[in-house]
């Protein structure tokens, strides 16, 4: 194995991205950080480096345990990286689901323009309240 390897090649080899071009594009779009700094796709990666990958809504963090240039089977991936992503980041993948059910009496037809505006205003208020709650946590 090599002492250094390109970051885009490693991200593809350990199955963080489906293609090497996707990994390179993420680097160019400043979605990949190595040891806290943004990197180009040609950045050389070493064992022990910390890699942060921003895939909305989560920022995944990995420590490089081994360098590999060929795409690996999923069961071998833990040999080459350690997942350091905090649980708080992983929780963003499954937000609590609160369902709001708005019922309408049968036979009343579609909402009028006025009723539609009232419904939209109500929904906007609910979404604004949720965003305020999530920022406080």
Instruction: Determine the pLDDT at residue 59.
Output: 93
Q: CA-to-CA distance for 62 and 49, rounded, in angstroms?
A: 8
Residue in 17, 81, 12 with CA at minimum distance from that of residue 51: 81
Q: Which domains does the chain have, with CATH numbers?
A: 5-85 (3.10.290.10)
Q: Which residues of the chain have a pLDDT value below 70?
A: 1-2, 96-102, 126-137
Return the pLDDT at 104.
75
Cβ neighbours, 10 Å, residue 45? 21
Q: Distance between CA 69 and CA 20 in Å, rounded?
A: 11
Which pLDDT score is estimated for 7? 97
- Strands lying side by side in the sheet with 81-83: 37-38, 32-34, 50-55, 58-64, 81-83
Q: What is the pLDDT of residue 121?
A: 85
Residue 126 pLDDT? 66
């Amino acid at each position: 194995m090599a002492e250094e390897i390109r970051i885009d090649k490693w991200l593809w080899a350990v199955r963080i991205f489906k293609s090497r071009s996707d990994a390179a594009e993420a680097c160019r779009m400043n979605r990949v950080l190595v040891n806290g700094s943004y990197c180009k796709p040609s950045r050389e990666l070493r064992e022990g480096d910390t890699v942060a990958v921003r895939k909305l809504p989560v920022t995944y963090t990995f420590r490089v345990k081994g360098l590999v240039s060929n795409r690996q089977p999923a069961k071998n991936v833990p040999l080459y990286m350690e997942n350091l992503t905090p649980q708080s980041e992983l929780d963003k993948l499954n937000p609590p689901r609160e369902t709001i059910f708005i019922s309408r009496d049968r036979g009343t037809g579609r909402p009028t323009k006025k009723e539609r505006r009232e419904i939209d205003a109500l929904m906007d208020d609910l979404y604004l309240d949720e965003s305020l709650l999530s920022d406080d946590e």
